Protein backbone atom coordinates (compact mmCIF):
# COMPACT_ATOMS: atom_id res chain seq x y z
CA UNK A 1 0.00 0.00 0.00
CA UNK A 2 1.22 3.54 -0.68
CA UNK A 3 1.68 6.30 1.89
CA UNK A 4 -1.80 7.70 1.27
CA UNK A 5 -3.34 4.37 2.15
CA UNK A 6 -1.22 4.18 5.28
CA UNK A 7 -2.14 7.73 6.34
CA UNK A 8 -5.81 6.66 6.28
CA UNK A 9 -4.92 3.34 7.89
CA UNK A 10 -3.22 5.35 10.63
CA UNK A 11 -6.43 7.27 11.29
CA UNK A 12 -8.30 4.00 11.58
CA UNK A 13 -5.70 2.49 13.95
CA UNK A 14 -5.80 5.72 15.98
CA UNK A 15 -9.59 5.66 16.17
CA UNK A 16 -9.67 2.00 17.30
CA UNK A 17 -7.01 2.62 19.98
CA UNK A 18 -8.80 5.76 21.12
CA UNK A 19 -12.15 3.97 21.28
CA UNK A 20 -10.65 1.12 23.31
CA UNK A 21 -8.98 3.58 25.69
CA UNK A 22 -12.23 5.52 26.04
CA UNK A 23 -14.30 2.40 26.76
CA UNK A 24 -11.81 1.17 29.38
CA UNK A 25 -11.50 4.68 30.88
CA UNK A 26 -7.76 4.69 30.31
CA UNK A 27 -7.97 8.46 29.93
CA UNK A 28 -10.45 11.24 30.49
CA UNK A 29 -12.56 12.34 27.56
CA UNK A 30 -15.90 14.00 26.82
CA UNK A 31 -17.38 15.37 23.66
CA UNK A 32 -17.32 19.00 24.79
CA UNK A 33 -13.53 19.02 24.44
CA UNK A 34 -13.43 21.52 21.54
CA UNK A 35 -15.64 23.97 23.44
CA UNK A 36 -13.63 23.56 26.65
CA UNK A 37 -10.24 23.93 24.96
CA UNK A 38 -11.54 26.97 23.13
CA UNK A 39 -12.72 28.51 26.43
CA UNK A 40 -9.38 27.91 28.09
CA UNK A 41 -6.37 26.38 26.26
CA UNK A 42 -5.22 24.98 29.61
CA UNK A 43 -8.05 22.44 29.39
CA UNK A 44 -6.07 20.75 26.63
CA UNK A 45 -3.96 19.03 29.30
CA UNK A 46 -7.03 17.22 30.65
CA UNK A 47 -7.45 15.60 27.24
CA UNK A 48 -3.84 15.17 26.19
CA UNK A 49 -3.54 11.46 27.05
CA UNK A 50 -6.42 10.59 24.72
CA UNK A 51 -4.91 12.62 21.89
CA UNK A 52 -1.53 11.05 22.54
CA UNK A 53 -3.01 7.53 22.31
CA UNK A 54 -4.53 8.43 18.95
CA UNK A 55 -1.27 9.99 17.71
CA UNK A 56 0.82 7.00 18.92
CA UNK A 57 -1.26 4.52 16.91
CA UNK A 58 -1.27 6.82 13.88
CA UNK A 59 2.52 7.31 14.00
CA UNK A 60 3.13 3.56 14.49
CA UNK A 61 1.07 2.92 11.41
CA UNK A 62 3.15 5.35 9.32
CA UNK A 63 6.52 4.43 10.81
CA UNK A 64 7.32 1.18 8.86
CA UNK A 65 7.39 3.00 5.52
CA UNK A 66 9.94 5.58 6.65
CA UNK A 67 12.38 3.12 5.04
CA UNK A 68 11.26 4.10 1.54
CA UNK A 69 11.12 7.33 -0.44
CA UNK A 70 7.70 8.87 0.16
CA UNK A 71 6.08 12.10 1.28
CA UNK A 72 5.98 11.13 5.00
CA UNK A 73 9.65 10.07 4.80
CA UNK A 74 10.72 13.40 3.32
CA UNK A 75 8.82 15.32 6.03
CA UNK A 76 10.18 13.05 8.74
CA UNK A 77 13.77 13.72 7.66
CA UNK A 78 13.15 17.46 7.13
CA UNK A 79 11.80 17.78 10.69
CA UNK A 80 14.60 15.59 12.04
CA UNK A 81 17.20 17.74 10.26
CA UNK A 82 15.71 20.91 11.76
CA UNK A 83 15.70 19.27 15.20
CA UNK A 84 19.37 18.25 14.73
CA UNK A 85 20.38 21.82 13.91
CA UNK A 86 18.43 23.14 16.92
CA UNK A 87 20.02 20.65 19.32
CA UNK A 88 23.48 21.43 17.93
CA UNK A 89 22.94 25.17 18.44
CA UNK A 90 21.63 24.50 21.95
CA UNK A 91 24.69 22.27 22.57
CA UNK A 92 22.46 19.35 23.62
CA UNK A 93 25.05 16.92 22.34
CA UNK A 94 23.55 13.69 23.77
CA UNK A 95 20.22 14.27 22.00
CA UNK A 96 22.09 15.36 18.87
CA UNK A 97 24.02 12.09 18.78
CA UNK A 98 20.90 10.04 19.53
CA UNK A 99 18.94 11.65 16.66
CA UNK A 100 21.92 11.33 14.31
CA UNK A 101 22.00 7.59 14.97
CA UNK A 102 18.23 7.41 14.49
CA UNK A 103 18.61 8.77 10.93
CA UNK A 104 20.64 5.73 9.94
CA UNK A 105 18.35 2.98 11.16
CA UNK A 106 15.91 3.58 8.32
CA UNK A 107 18.42 3.16 5.52
CA UNK A 108 20.46 0.15 6.71
CA UNK A 109 17.97 -2.34 5.30
CA UNK A 110 15.97 -2.84 2.10
CA UNK A 111 12.37 -1.64 1.84
CA UNK A 112 10.07 -3.83 3.94
CA UNK A 113 13.12 -4.95 5.92
CA UNK A 114 13.38 -4.70 9.71
CA UNK A 115 10.70 -1.99 9.98
CA UNK A 116 8.20 -4.56 8.69
CA UNK A 117 9.12 -7.41 11.03
CA UNK A 118 6.37 -8.67 13.32
CA UNK A 119 8.66 -8.41 16.34
CA UNK A 120 9.68 -4.80 15.68
CA UNK A 121 6.91 -2.97 17.63
CA UNK A 122 7.51 -5.18 20.70
CA UNK A 123 11.24 -4.48 20.58
CA UNK A 124 10.63 -0.73 20.11
CA UNK A 125 8.28 -0.63 23.11
CA UNK A 126 10.84 -2.47 25.22
CA UNK A 127 13.75 -0.23 24.14
CA UNK A 128 11.61 2.83 24.86
CA UNK A 129 10.57 1.82 28.39
CA UNK A 130 14.10 0.72 29.30
CA UNK A 131 15.51 4.07 28.11
CA UNK A 132 12.68 5.91 29.84
CA UNK A 133 13.37 4.15 33.14
CA UNK A 134 17.12 4.76 32.95
CA UNK A 135 16.61 8.39 31.94
CA UNK A 136 14.09 9.08 34.69
CA UNK A 137 15.51 7.05 37.58
CA UNK A 138 19.19 6.84 36.56
CA UNK A 139 18.91 3.08 37.08
CA UNK A 140 17.03 0.16 35.66
CA UNK A 141 14.54 -2.14 37.37
CA UNK A 142 12.52 -4.99 35.86
CA UNK A 143 9.65 -4.46 38.33
CA UNK A 144 9.41 -0.78 37.45
CA UNK A 145 9.33 -1.65 33.77
CA UNK A 146 6.52 -4.18 34.26
CA UNK A 147 4.58 -1.58 36.23
CA UNK A 148 5.19 1.04 33.56
CA UNK A 149 3.94 -1.32 30.84
CA UNK A 150 0.89 -2.28 32.91
CA UNK A 151 -0.07 1.32 33.72
CA UNK A 152 0.37 2.40 30.10
CA UNK A 153 -1.02 -0.71 28.40
CA UNK A 154 -3.19 1.47 26.13
CA UNK A 155 -0.02 3.00 24.61
CA UNK A 156 1.49 -0.46 24.16
CA UNK A 157 -1.72 -1.49 22.42
CA UNK A 158 -1.60 1.64 20.21
CA UNK A 159 2.00 0.90 19.10
CA UNK A 160 1.37 -2.80 18.39
CA UNK A 161 -2.02 -2.30 16.75
CA UNK A 162 -0.83 0.62 14.61
CA UNK A 163 2.18 -1.36 13.42
CA UNK A 164 0.26 -4.58 12.74
CA UNK A 165 -2.43 -2.67 10.91
CA UNK A 166 0.31 -1.38 8.58
CA UNK A 167 1.45 -4.98 7.98
CA UNK A 168 -2.15 -6.06 7.28
CA UNK A 169 -2.55 -3.26 4.70
CA UNK A 170 0.74 -4.35 3.08
CA UNK A 171 -0.23 -8.02 3.09
CA UNK A 172 -0.51 -10.06 -0.07
CA UNK A 173 -4.08 -10.94 0.82
CA UNK A 174 -5.23 -7.30 0.73
CA UNK A 175 -3.12 -6.54 -2.34
CA UNK A 176 -5.38 -8.94 -4.22
CA UNK A 177 -8.17 -6.41 -3.76
CA UNK A 178 -5.99 -3.48 -4.81
CA UNK A 179 -8.05 -3.04 -7.99
CA UNK A 180 -10.88 -1.82 -5.74
CA UNK A 181 -8.89 1.10 -4.37
CA UNK A 182 -6.24 1.77 -6.96
CA UNK A 183 -5.34 5.21 -5.61
CA UNK A 184 -4.19 3.68 -2.33
CA UNK A 185 -1.89 1.17 -4.00
CA UNK A 186 -0.18 3.09 -6.76
Torsion of CA 164, 168, 172, 174, to 10 degrees: 180
65 sits near Zn ion (criterion: CB under 5 A): yes
> Using CB under 5 A, which of the segments 25-33, 93-101, 140-148, 167-175 binds Zn ion?
167-175
Q: What is residue 24's three-state secondary structure?
A: coil
Q: Is there binding between residue 49 and Zn ion (CB under 5 A)? A: no
In the three-class reduction of DSSP (H, G, I as helix; E, B as strand; rest coil), residue 171 is classed as: coil
Q: Give the integer Cα–Cα distance in Å for 124 and 114.
A: 11
For residues 113-152, which are near Zn ion according to CB under 5 A? none
Is position 2 an interface residue for Zn ion (rule: CB under 5 A)? no
170 near Zn ion (CB under 5 A): yes
Sequence-distant (6+) residues with CB within 8 A of 23 are none
Q: Which of 5, 9, 64, 162 binds Zn ion (CB under 5 A)?
A: 64
Residue 9 near Zn ion by CB under 5 A: no
- Which residues lie near Zn ion (CB under 5 A)? 64-65, 170
Amino acid sequence: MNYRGHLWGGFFAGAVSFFLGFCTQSFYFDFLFLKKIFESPDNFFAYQKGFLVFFTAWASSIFPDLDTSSLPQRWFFRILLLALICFLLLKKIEIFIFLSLLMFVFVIDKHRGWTHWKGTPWILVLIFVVFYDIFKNKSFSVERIFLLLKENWIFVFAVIFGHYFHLILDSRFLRRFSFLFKKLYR
